[in-house]
Structure 1
Amino acid sequence: MAKRYQALFLLLSVSCLVLSELTTATVSPTRTSTKALNFIQSSCRFTKYQSLCVETLSVYANTIKTSPRRLVDTAIAVSLNQALSTKLFISHLTKGQFRTLQDCAPSTDTFNTDCTCSIQQLQEVVRCTSWTECLFHVNNAEVCAISGESHSVENTCSSPYAGPVKMSVRGRISDAVRKSLHARFAKLHHEINNAKMLFKAFARN
């Protein structure tokens, strides 16, 4: 049984191939297999965010075909791409866009930590050798994404003596940045959750 899970759940052992295919894949309704699309839609019924699942995975129907392993490989790879994209977005933000005061959070470092954590945990799936270990890392990646999602709506100041001007600013992230970060981390959270549910469904087969 252990060997079976080791073979099944080294999900990113072909990550370079999968990510390459995700990068170069194109949507072509005339060439996309109806059978593959039906398989993806049927599999996504196991997930919480079904519309997102179908939307993100159907693009790669010709890569997934009707393979459960390819389905989960792709779901993990899509999540990893979203995490990397979010990290790149954060790296381009300036302190001015955060307007963070010394006694207030969150800062760019906060979001970088959350995003890096998700990336590292998803990458750890490459080295997992059992169902329990793989699920542990997927769960951790989701927790990190949820943390980033939560931080994007938080505004914590430790000083109760902030003056009127400081209180009016309160270290807030600009609204546009806050909304963008929340949307990115929410999508990452939902994609990882979908991958986790597909992962569990795959394990039952």
Structure 2
Amino acid sequence: MSQATFSLLLLLSILCLAAGTAESAGVRNRSSSIEYIKSSCSTTRYPTLCVQTLSPYANKIQPNNALQLAQAALSVSLSKSRSASSYVSKMSRLKSLKAREYQAMKDCVDNMSDSVDRLSRSIKEMGQTSQTTSQSDFSWHMSNVQTWVSAALTDDNTCVDGFSGHSMDGNVKTAITNRVTTVAQVTSNALALINRYASSH
């Protein structure tokens, strides 16, 4: 075996070893992040849903980083809120809606639009918390986030409440309430993780 061939094989061996080490470190980090997500989610009202929706963000959440976890939870909430808002808007244009269904749907469109707006503002405000230099500034930004996310949760619940009563029973009520209830649940989880971050600062 020539010296050049030996050197090349040695280099390849070193590269493979380094790649394997990096990969195993990545697996360990992801595993630690998943454990952190699970332990944090256990304090929320809907822990199973919390783990299910936040696990895909494990690579972006460092263990014990409450800010990254809260930001991921907000992103999940905003994404589901936008999807539900679009769905409700389409459903509101159905010609077969009864008068009460139409009114409830119309109100729900407004509620979900407000929810999306408040969650969007919350995400921007959340980013400001990591750049503050004083406790008073941090508390002010966090207060805004908590207020807006709480209001978004109220919007979700108000939409669902609009379809209460047996007279509203049917496919429309089931479709809307199922989707918006999920939004309310992930938003509730997000608020719990936001409060956890606020108290840890």
- 2:159 aligns with 148
Given that 2:125 and 2:144 are in contact with CA atoms closer than 8 Å, whether structure 1 keeps it comes out as no
Larger radius of gyration: 2
Question: CA 1:135/1:180 → structure 2, altered by over 3 Å: closer, same or farther?
Answer: same
What amino acid is aligned across from residue 186 of structure 2 in structure 1? E
Deviation at 1:120, TM superposition (A): 1.3
Question: CA 1:51/1:98 → structure 2, altered by over 3 Å: closer, same or farther?
Answer: same
Where do residues 78-157 of structure 1 align in structure 2 (5 Å cutoff)? 78-93=76-91, 94-100=93-99, 106-125=103-122, 126-127=124-125, 130-154=141-165
- Structure 1 gap ranges (5+): 1-29, 156-169
Report the TM-score when normalising by structure 1. 0.69
Amino-acid identity (%): 21
**Is 1:45 equivalent to 2:42 in the alignment?**
yes
What amino acid is aligned across from residue 135 of structure 1 in structure 2? Q
Question: CA 1:145/1:58 → structure 2, altered by over 3 Å: closer, same or farther?
Answer: same
**Is 1:193 equivalent to 2:191 in the alignment?**
no
**Is 1:58 equivalent to 2:55 in the alignment?**
yes
Alignment size in residue pairs: 158
- 1:27 aligns with none
Higher helix share: 2
- Structure 2 gap ranges (5+): 1-25, 127-139
Name the CA distance, whole Å, in 1 between partners of 2:76 and 2:186.
8
Q: What is the CA deviation profile of residues 3-50 of structure 1, one whole-angstrom value per residue up to 9, with x for unaligned ones?
A: xxxxxxxxxxxxxxxxxxxxxxxxxxx958111100000111221111
Report the TM-score when normalising by structure 2. 0.71
Given that 1:46 and 1:197 are in contact with CA atoms closer than 8 Å, whether structure 2 keeps it comes out as yes
Name the CA distance, whole Å, in 2 between partners of 1:97 and 1:127.
41
Name the CA distance, whole Å, in 1 between partners of 2:112 and 2:31.
35
- 1:12 aligns with none
- 2:199 aligns with 204
